């Protein structure tokens, strides 16, 4: 039975089929089932005026305390303050709520009637829809769908049983436990957050051109022709074979590739075995290249490496013992090597080494006539080479370590300036050769340190009345110390040579020149 609906219907227009007696109403998108209101469908709405505040717009609709959901605003008759409200302008319905365009004020009366809910068509009798006459724009849900002709679905078709049909055309998503027959067209991305095109089991699918974001198949699949376009392509089953006419993917994964692979091979992962005849091009670029095995041979005339450091003997736990024997071999009639000798803690050359310069202290060099032997007063302090430098006096060799020494040479005369006032004044013979004493009151001059044979001078300047004497270290020609002038401003000069120092007692051979004032 065919339903001949009017063309270009208006909103809420009702059409009654004279043959079946069924009525339908146009809701602006599709024809829906319609029946006139009956007495058992008419319900008096509970009074909601007690909730009117002049602020609230939305109120819940109930009848005898039970929530009701009118199909539309036109199914209600609403009276506010004795005035029937217009459903087009004064209110709308949303689920079980009524929403007024103007908030009802406190004290305003309310009454209302619901004419009844919409009555949907639950079953379409068999044989009542002819070829090409069923169009579903919403959601069609069935247990089994039998299609004899062409059916077009804009929304979602969901079936828990079997779809039988010679031609099913969908612009949305078709989901079923089983599809029987050929599936043709383009399987593209769905707009629903479900398992879109989640084909399971082991269907036989013939595809001319496959386009997908991710294309994955199970085992026992052979792709023999056509063009496959995908962001990711995976046929890693144990018995899968790929031998297609064209493959355009971001990542292709397969157990076996049959035929020529062209283009840029990038993003290879895992441990593939690749045999390459020739790598051609102006340059081969690798972000990271790892080559495993026992031997890698590079046959090239020139090898240039931009890295500043080359690692040899790389391992996760490096040690000097593991690095023993590591180095570089230059092939020749006899090979020349530079290797690490761990037993001697040094790099070892297998041949002669020439260098225009050597750096370091040279203390470990053997078999060479070079370097210096340093002596202080005839005694070897550092070195042991053929050339000897002997500092007889005036120099001190210190900080001797690994053949390196510090040599301190006294350059010129060093003057020591002292001020004495009624105390013992000590001259430091090890730090100076000339000593100037500014004397006041009674003072005695003595010495410390000194080296045998050193000569010293003492200049004494009286600052006020001064009486100056000398310790027993000083020996004078007359056997007694000279008497120095005591007047202020008097200048005296004393010269002496160190005759003896040490445990036997210091002796200074002195002479005096008096009163230069």
Domains parsed from the chain with CATH numbers: 43-114 (no CATH), 207-261 (no CATH), 324-356 (no CATH), 372-409 (no CATH), 415-513 (2.60.120)
Question: Roughly how many angstroms between the first and final C-alpha of the chain, as a whole number?
Answer: 154
Q: Give the residue among 159, 171, 172, 138 at the shortest CA–CA distance from 32.
A: 138
What pLDDT, on the 0 to 100 scale, is given for residue 438?
94
Distance CA 514, CA 517 (A): 9
Residue 391 has pLDDT above 70, yes or no: no
Q: Which two tokens stand for residue 373?
A: 């032997």
Q: Average pLDDT in the 405-413 region?
A: 66
Greatest mean pLDDT among 34-38, 84-88, 90-94, 234-238 lies in 90-94
Task: Find the helix or strand (DSSP H, E) in which 100 lies.
Answer: strand 97-100
Concatenated DSSP letters of 300-350: -S------S----S--SS--TTTTTT-EEEE-SSS-EEEEEETTTTEEEES
Mean pLDDT of the chain, nearest integer: 75
The pLDDT assigned to 271 comes to 66
**Res. 459: pLDDT tops 90:** yes
- How far apart (Å, rounded) are the C-alpha atoms in residues 212 and 235? 14
Question: When comparing pLDDT for 496 and 370, which is higher?
Answer: 496
Which pLDDT score is estimated for 11? 78
Encode pLDDT of 154-169 as tens digits.
555 555 555 655 556 6
Query: What is the tens place of the pLDDT at every residue in 76-94?
Result: 999 998 899 998 789 999 9
In this predicted structure, the answer to whether residue 240 has a pLDDT above a threshold of 50 is yes
User: Does the pLDDT value for residue 490 go beyond 80?
Assistant: yes
67 neighbors 61 (Cβ within 8 angstroms): yes
Cα 312 from chain centroid?
27
Residue 380 or residue 303, greater confidence? 303
Q: Which distant-in-sequence residues (6+ apart) come within 8 Å of 246 by Cβ?
A: 226, 227, 228
Over residues 290-303, the mean pLDDT reads: 81
Residue 326, pLDDT above cutoff 60 = yes
What is the rounded average pLDDT of the residues 285-307?
80
Q: Which residue has the tokens 């001078």?
A: 457
The confidence score (pLDDT) of residue 104 equals: 93
Report pLDDT for 291: 78
Which band of pLDDT confidence, cut at 50, 70 and 90, is reported for residue 46? very high
> Cα(217)–Cα(222) distance, rounded to whole angstroms?
10
Q: How far apart are CA 480 and CA 482, in angstroms?
A: 6
CB 435 within 8 A of CB 458: yes
Residue pointed to by tokens 């040690």? 319
Going along 363-454, which residue ranges are E strands?
372-376, 379-382, 387-391, 395-401, 404-409, 415-421, 424-428, 434-448
Q: Fill in the DSSP letter of residue 184.
A: -
**pLDDT higher than threshold 90 for residue 323:** yes
Query: Is the predicted pLDDT of residue 100 greater than 60, yes or no?
Result: yes
Strand order in the sheet with 246-254: 209-216, 227-235, 246-254
Say yes or no to pLDDT of 418 above 60.
yes
* Residues above pLDDT 90, as percent of the chain: 28
- Average pLDDT value for residue range 33-59: 80
Could you tell me if 93 and 68 are in contact, meaning their C-beta atoms sit under 8 angstroms apart?
Answer: no
pLDDT confidence tier of residue 317, bands split at 50, 70 and 90: very high
- What percentage of the chain's residues is helix, strand, coil (to nearest 5)? 0, 40, 60
Q: What is the pLDDT of residues 119-128, one digit of tens each?
A: 444 445 455 4
């Amino acid at each position: 039975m065919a339903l001949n609906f009017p063309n270009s219907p208006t909103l809420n227009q009702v059409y009654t089929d004279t043959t079946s007696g069924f009525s339908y109403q146009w809701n602006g998108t599709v024809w829906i089932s319609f029946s006139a209101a009956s007495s058992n469908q008419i319900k008096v709405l509970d009074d909601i005026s007690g909730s009117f505040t002049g602020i609230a717009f939305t109120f819940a609709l109930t009848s005898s305390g039970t929530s009701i959901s009118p199909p539309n605003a036109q199914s209600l008759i609403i009276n506010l303050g004795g005035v029937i409200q217009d459903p087009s302008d004064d209110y709308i319905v949303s689920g079980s709520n009524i929403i007024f365009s103007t908030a009802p004020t406190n004290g305003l009366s309310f009454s209302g009637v619901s004419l009844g809910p919409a009555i949907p068509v639950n079953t379409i009798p068999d044989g009542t829809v002819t070829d090409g006459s069923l169009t579903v724009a919403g959601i069609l849900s069935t247990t089994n769908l039998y299609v004899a002709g062409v059916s077009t679905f804009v929304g979602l078709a969901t079936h828990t049983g079997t779809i039988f049909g010679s031609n099913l055309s969908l612009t949305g998503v078709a989901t079923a436990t089983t599809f029987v027959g050929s599936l043709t067209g383009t399987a593209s991305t769905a707009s629903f957050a479900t398992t879109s095109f989640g084909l399971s089991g082991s269907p036989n699918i013939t595809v001319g051109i496959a386009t997908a974001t991710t294309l994955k198949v199970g085992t026992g699949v052979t792709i023999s022709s056509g063009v496959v376009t995908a962001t990711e392509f995976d046929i890693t089953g144990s018995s899968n074979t790929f031998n297609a006419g064209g493959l355009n993917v971001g990542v292709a994964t397969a157990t076996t590739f049959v035929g020529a692979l062209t283009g840029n091979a990038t993003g290879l992962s895992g441990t593939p075995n690749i045999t390459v005849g020739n790598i051609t091009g102006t340059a081969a670029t690798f972000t990271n290249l790892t080559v495993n095995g026992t031997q890698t041979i590079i046959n090239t005339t020139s090898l240039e490496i931009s890295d500043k450091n080359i690692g040899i003997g790389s391992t996760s736990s490096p040690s000097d013992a593991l690095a023993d024997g590591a180095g570089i071999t230059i092939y020749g009639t006899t090979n020349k090597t530079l290797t690490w000798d761990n037993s001697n803690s040094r790099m070892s050359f297998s041949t002669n080494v020439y260098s225009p310069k050597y750096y370091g202290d040279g203390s470990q060099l053997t078999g060479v006539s070079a370097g210096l032997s340093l002596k202080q007063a005839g005694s070897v302090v550092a070195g042991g080479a053929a050339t000897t430098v002997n500092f007889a006096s005036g120099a001190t060799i210190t900080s001797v370590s690994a053949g390196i020494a510090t040599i301190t040479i006294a350059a010129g005369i060093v003057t020591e300036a002292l001020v004495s006032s009624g105390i013992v004044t000590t001259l430091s013979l090890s730090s100076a050769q000339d000593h100037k004493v500014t004397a006041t009151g009674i003072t005695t001059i003595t010495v410390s340190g000194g080296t045998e044979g050193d000569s010293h001078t003492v200049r004494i300047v009286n600052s006020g009345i001064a009486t100056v004497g000398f310790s027993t270290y000083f020996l004078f020609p007359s056997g007694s110390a000279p008497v120095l002038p005591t007047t202020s401003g008097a200048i005296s000069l004393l010269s002496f040579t160190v005759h003896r120092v040490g445990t036997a007692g210091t002796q200074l051979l002195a002479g005096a020149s008096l009163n230069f004032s």
